[in-house]
Amino acid sequence: MPTPHSPIGIFDSGVGGLSVLQALRHELPHERFVYLADSGNAPYGDARGDAFVQERSLAIAHYLLQQHDIKILVIACNTATAAAVELMRERMPQLPVIGVEPAIKPASFSSQTRHVGVMATRGTVSSQRVARLVSEHGLHTEFHLQACDGLARAIEQSTEQALPAQASATEIRALCRKYTSALGSFGHKTGQMDTLVLGCTHYVFVKDDLRALLGPDIQFLDTGAPVARQTRRMLEQRKLLTPESGDAPQLARAEQIQLMTTGRLSALQAAAQRWLQLPAHCSQAVNVRSESSAATPA
């Protein structure tokens, strides 16, 4: 049975969920974290169907619960949340599960022009979960949805050491330009979008590229910080917060974090170093088999 000293489990289709892990580190600096990137099957959102995403999500959740005795699971992937969170809660009622979803609700309150752009994977944009959010919060706000095919994959591949850095950066900037242009006009005039929702956890890592295209006055919304706060609330309710001792660190230390990937180990190591300043020894490769809901070291 999980205890307050058990780790928090996090998974994503790849390295994008590291943005959520970073927010969790800041919110819960005394906790231990186990993060699994299913990079061997990434990205989920461009071409994978719901059945595939559900199968992978359940397999990874079972592994994290059985092998690491996690006390709570954060799905750091919008596509997996949309496709699988309800099924996971039904199949694994003993495990608290927190999903992420595009920040459509807060955008409806904060937009001044009442026009909001939403960039996400095709799987997220076409999901019933997003359709429901838009319906619930679109009475006074118009949401412009854009499926960004290839962007999550390009961000994922940018961590591959064998890929020339300049070529990778050029591709990412070109995709950002393509999809922001497709959304329409950004600004603070009537009919313009003054807010952009980053509906994929990968996209947080290209915020600078998007900012360069859209200017300094456009509001960007992602879900990292709200998810971290919700995780704290759920742990408090269940009396599963790790007891604090001494001065609280600014963020969880490297020895409190274990990273795993079903893809190339060097890619996860590079991403963790680049975005979270975590050393290579925090990462390992694993093989998650959907058919047996098991995992073994690669």
Contact between 279 and 54 under an 8 Å Cβ cutoff? The reply is no
169 CB contacts (<8 Å, ≥6 apart)? 158
Residue of 77, 148, 176, 282 marked active site: 77
C-alpha closest to that of 290 among 258, 262, 268: 262
Contact between 192 and 115 under an 8 Å Cβ cutoff? The reply is yes
* Catalytic residue status for 77: yes
Residue of 148, 176, 200, 282 marked active site: 200
**DSSP letter assigned to residue 114:** S
**DSSP letter assigned to residue 193:** B
* Catalytic residue status for 282: no
**DSSP letter assigned to residue 41:** G
Residues in the chain: 298
Six-digit token string for 35: 């993060």
For the annotated catalytic residues, the residue numbers are 77, 200
